[in-house]
Amino acid sequence: MMLKVLTANRLRDGEVVYLTATGTWSEWLDESGLAETPEREAELLAAAELALAARLVVDPYLMPVAEVAGRLRPLSQREIIRAKGPSVRADLGKQAIRR
């Protein structure tokens, strides 16, 4: 089964966030809780519904990822851009922060 994480945009500032294994939202993909089974996917989606109802996030969805050298990597170009920040200036967004 393909690895997936739950992503959304935080409502208060629009930042891309990922649901962690502890149920909090992080701005960093590597802190995401992984879904490796359909049951875990359902749990993440249920957590997304709660976050939507609490108006914490908007547009949550499961996104496929790969684990490469111990780090999570998005598989689509769209998600690569969302994970890094604006593509027009490398000095802005997460790509400007060395982590």
Secondary structure of 5-67 as H, E, C letters: EEEEEECCCCCEEEEECCCCEECCHHHECCECCHHHHHHHHHHHHHHHHCCCEEEEEEEEEEE
CB 30 within 8 A of CB 18: no
Q: Kindly report, residue by residue over 19-78, the tens digit of the pLDDT.
A: 999 999 999 999 999 999 999 999 999 999 999 999 999 999 999 999 999 999 999 999
- Residue 84 has what pLDDT? 83
- Residue 69 has what pLDDT? 94
Encoded tokens for 41: 């996917």
Encoded tokens for 94: 């997460």
Q: How many domains does the chain have?
A: 1
Residues of the domain holding 82: 3-96
Q: Which residue has the tokens 């701005």?
A: 27
